[in-house]
């Protein structure tokens, strides 16, 4: 009973803070914040809602407001806030806000499909999201993206004489790609589709994968 009371107090505290601060979704969000909030990550949730508020303010129509209070969107919002409470980066909270905004303003997917995309995002770390973006590009755009994020996306060059720590880093990097393949977000390219360039630093093996339709859909929803 005490735990439930504490969580209710947290929810009330969040509601009071966001109602006045978020002009577009503040009052609506306050109505659907329940007692489920884990780990009392109030600041992160507030930041997520602020980003959602800003994105919805630029939509230009308020047709989404009735949908905001639907059981289906409330279900998505709860899951999104749980993920937001654990998000360590601004980029991750922005992905979540974009996905929630697009779930309100686009009608191409039903609730279960939108929930699937939210679940897929929860399974990816930030480097895997960057890799998915990389594999959705081609040619100079891919090279430019790789150069921009070279610090985290450049794979280790592992050879038989590599030190153990380099081999370990290579194994972890490969696990990122394997995970994206397992989730159906990227796939190996057919040999005939491989571009004509060598494995230069910054492009090692990255051209051998491409985003699937599901991968591109997820990228579109997270902005």
DSSP string, 158-209: --TT--HHHHHHHHHHHHHHHHHHHTTSEEEPPGGG--S----TT-TTGGGE
What range defines the domain where residue 213 resides? 126-221
Domain end position, chosen among 89, 106, 122: 122
Domain end position, chosen among 95, 122, 149: 122
pTM for this predicted structure: 0.75
112 and 14 in one domain? yes
Number of domains in the chain: 2
Tell me how far CA of residue 125 lies from CA of 26, 76, 87, in angstroms.
29, 20, 10
108 and 28 in one domain? yes
88 and 23 in one domain? yes
Residue 210, strand partner residues = 187
72 and 109 in one domain? yes
Residue 209, strand partner residues = 188
> What is the reported pLDDT for 196?
40
146 and 117 in one domain? no
Q: Assign 1 a pLDDT band (cuts: 50, 70, 90).
A: very low
144 and 104 in one domain? no
Q: Please report which helix (H) or strand (E) contains residue 190, including its range.
A: none
Residue 166 phi, psi dihedral angles, 5° rounding: -75, -40
Least confident among 48-62, 73-87, 155-169, 185-199: 185-199
11 and 82 in one domain? yes
> What is the reported pLDDT for 12?
57
Q: What angle do CA 202, 204, 206 make, to 5 degrees?
A: 95
């Amino acid at each position: 009973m005490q735990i439930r009371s504490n969580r209710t107090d947290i929810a009330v505290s969040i509601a009071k803070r966001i109602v006045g601060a978020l002009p577009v979704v503040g009052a609506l969000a306050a109505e659907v914040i329940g007692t489920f909030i884990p780990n009392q990550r109030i600041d992160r949730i507030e930041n997520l809602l602020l980003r959602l508020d800003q994105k919805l303010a630029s939509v230009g129509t308020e047709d989404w407001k009735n949908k905001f209070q639907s059981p289906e969107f409330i279900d998505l919002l709860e899951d999104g806030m749980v993920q937001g409470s654990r998000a360590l980066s601004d980029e991750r909270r922005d992905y979540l806000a974009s996905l929630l905004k697009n779930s309100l303003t686009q009608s191409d997917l039903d609730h279960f499909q939108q929930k699937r995309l939210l679940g897929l995002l929860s399974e990816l770390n930030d480097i895997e999201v960057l890799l998915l973006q990389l594999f959705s590009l081609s040619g100079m755009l891919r090279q430019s993206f790789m150069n921009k994020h070279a610090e985290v996306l450049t794979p280790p060059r592992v050879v038989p004489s590599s030190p153990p720590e380099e081999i370990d880093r290579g194994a972890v990097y490969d696990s990122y790609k394997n995970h994206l393949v397992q989730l159906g977000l990227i796939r190996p390219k057919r040999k005939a589709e491989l571009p004509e360039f060598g494995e230069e630093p910054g492009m090692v093996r990255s051209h051998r994968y491409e985003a699937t339709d599901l991968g591109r859909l997820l990228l579109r929803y997270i902005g």
